[in-house]
Structure 1
Amino acid sequence: MRKRLVEFRNVSFRYGDEQPWVLKNCSFVIYENESVAIIGHNGSGKSTIAKLMNGLLFPQEGEIIINGQHVNNETVWEVRKDVGMVFQNPDNQFVGTTVQDDVAFGMENRGIPRAEMANRIDDTLTAVGMQQHRMTEPHKLSGGQKQRVAIAGVLAIFPSVLIMDEATAMLDPKGRKEIMQTVSDVQKERHLSLITITHDLEEVVQTERVIVMNEGEVWDESTPRGIFAKKEKLQRIGLDVPFVATLSDELRKAGVPIENEPLNHDELLEELWILHSTM
């Protein structure tokens, strides 16, 4: 059985005593080496969850446990060694004059020896395909390249949990696909827990499990296939479903007996081919 790496126990949070609750009695677990998507409409509490995991915020009620440690003012710096976060706009994370300097920044703050820093810079830039840009000024990079550097800077501190908070939202479809493939490869290689907070349904279907937030509460959690089987309920709380799922429903209405719940075009084509072969 996999180790519990992130635990939210009845967590509630609001941005001020007179403000409404952003999270209400929120509980879930994320395990080591697991990929999880957190989805929900705007204002459902997704990004607040990410900031609570990283100790940027603290809950008014409940407990958060990261890798066995309760998150509080005393433990927050230790917790941040385990949790790395990549934000939507990579420019907000850059502090170095070159790509190499930027990747080194987090390690310098942690007192990592120079020789070890050099090895990690090489390894992480190679992992994200940015080794040839190590002496480039970050502002000269494309959006996708900037996001790769931001990911490298987080990976260099060797976190146990990598949070992608709408990290591909500013990229075009090709850039999104490339970044998520890079992250998926690194996650498997380093056995990270990957938490993806996103509106992109293509990213959601690639994860092992989905947590659906609605009005600050955990509305449901299941596999991507299990979640997207609830199309009408998802749409009632303001969420989209993959185009393939909608197309499958229309085909069923037209008399095509699709039994399973395809998540992508390849699965739908396979389903149709099987049906064709048996006719």
Structure 2
Amino acid sequence: MREKLIEFRNVSFRYREEHPWVLKNCSFEIYEDESIAIIGHNGSGKSTIAKLINGLLFPQEGEILIAGKPVTEETIWDIRKDVGMVFQNPDNQFVGTTVQDDVAFGMENRGIPREEMIARIEESLTAVGMQDYHLTEPHRLSGGQKQRVAIAGVLAVSPKVLILDEATAMLDPKGRTEIMNTLNQVQEKNNLSLITITHDLHEVVQSDRVIVMNHGEIWDEATPREIFAKKHALREIGLDVPFVAILADELQEKGLALTKEPLNHEELLEELWTLHSTT
């Protein structure tokens, strides 16, 4: 049985006392080696959750536990050893003059021996397909390459959980797909918990579970397939439904009885082929 890694217990948060609550009485659990997507429209509270997990913010009400430890000002530096975060704009995370310097930065802060650092730099850059860019200056990289290096820098310090806060928002569709595929491979190989914060339902397909936020509250929590089946309700709370889900809906309205909600084009084609073979 998998252990609880992150636990939110009735957490509420607002940025100032006179401001409205950004999160209202939120409770959920995330387990070791689990892939979770947290989705919602802008202002729904999803990015605030990421900052609370990483101790960049603290709740006014409720409690957050990481690996059984309450997140407080006293525990925050221990917590951050277990939690890595990749932001929307990778330029904000670069501190080194070369790719390898940047990946080394977090390890230097933790006092990791040089021999181990060299091995981890190679391993983490290889994991994200950037092993040929050790001495490249970060500003010479494309947006997707920069984001890969940012991910490598987090992987190098061996966190238990990796959070992506809208980390693919600045990339084109091809770049987004490549990053998400890379991350899923990395998560599987390194036994990480992966938390993807996004408003793009295309990015939730490979997650084990999806938490949908709406106006600071948990609107739903289910598997991607179960969430996709609620396409009309998702539109009502301001989320764009993937084209494949819209197409599947249209086909069913035309009388084609699909056996399951398709998550991608491949599954839809498989469903159509099965239907064609049996008619």
Q: Which runs of 4+ in 1 moved over 4 A?
A: none
Question: Mean Cα displacement is larger for which, 254-263 or 169-178?
Answer: 254-263
Q: Name the amino acid aligned to 2:198.
A: T
Deviation, structure 1 residue 74: 0.4
Residue of structure 1 equivalent to 2:70: 70
Residue of structure 2 equivalent to 1:99: 99
Deviations 1:248-269 (A, max 9, x none): 1111111222232111111111
Deviation, structure 1 residue 217: 0.5
User: What are structure 1's unaligned runs of at least 5 residues?
Assistant: none
Q: Distance in 1 between matches of 2:203 and 2:243?
A: 14
Residue of structure 2 equivalent to 1:4: 4
Deviations 1:25-59 (A, max 9, x none): 00100000010100001100011000000000000
Deviations 1:133-176 (A, max 9, x none): 11111111111110011001000110000001110111111111
Contact 2:42-2:199 at 8 Å conserved across structures? no
Deviations 1:83-117 (A, max 9, x none): 00000000000001111110111111111111111
- The answer as to 2:57 corresponding to 1:57 is yes
- The answer as to 2:176 corresponding to 1:176 is yes
Question: Mean Cα displacement is larger for which, 65-74 or 110-119?
Answer: 110-119
Deviations 1:176-198 (A, max 9, x none): 11111111111000000000011
SS of 2:241's partner is: coil
Q: Distance in 1 between matches of 2:218 and 2:91?
A: 31
Query: Pairwise mapping of residues 189-268 of structure 1 onto structure 2 (< 5 A)?
Result: 189-268=189-268
SS of 1:97's partner is: coil
Contact 2:187-2:194 at 8 Å conserved across structures? yes
Q: Distance in 2 between matches of 1:102 and 1:83?
A: 18
Q: Distance in 2 between matches of 1:105 and 1:80?
A: 15
Query: Pairwise mapping of residues 34-45 of structure 1 onto structure 2 (< 5 A)?
Result: 34-45=34-45
Q: Distance in 2 between matches of 1:255 and 1:129?
A: 45
Q: Please report the TM-score for the alignment, with normalisation by the length of structure 1.
A: 0.98
SS of 2:232's partner is: helix
SS of 1:116's partner is: helix
Contact 2:212-2:220 at 8 Å conserved across structures? yes
Deviations 1:199-244 (A, max 9, x none): 2222111111100001001111000001111112111111122211
Residue of structure 1 equivalent to 2:154: 154
Alignment size in residue pairs: 279
Q: Name the amino acid aligned to 1:216.
A: G
Q: Distance in 1 between matches of 2:128 and 2:261?
A: 33
Q: Name the amino acid aligned to 2:73.
A: N
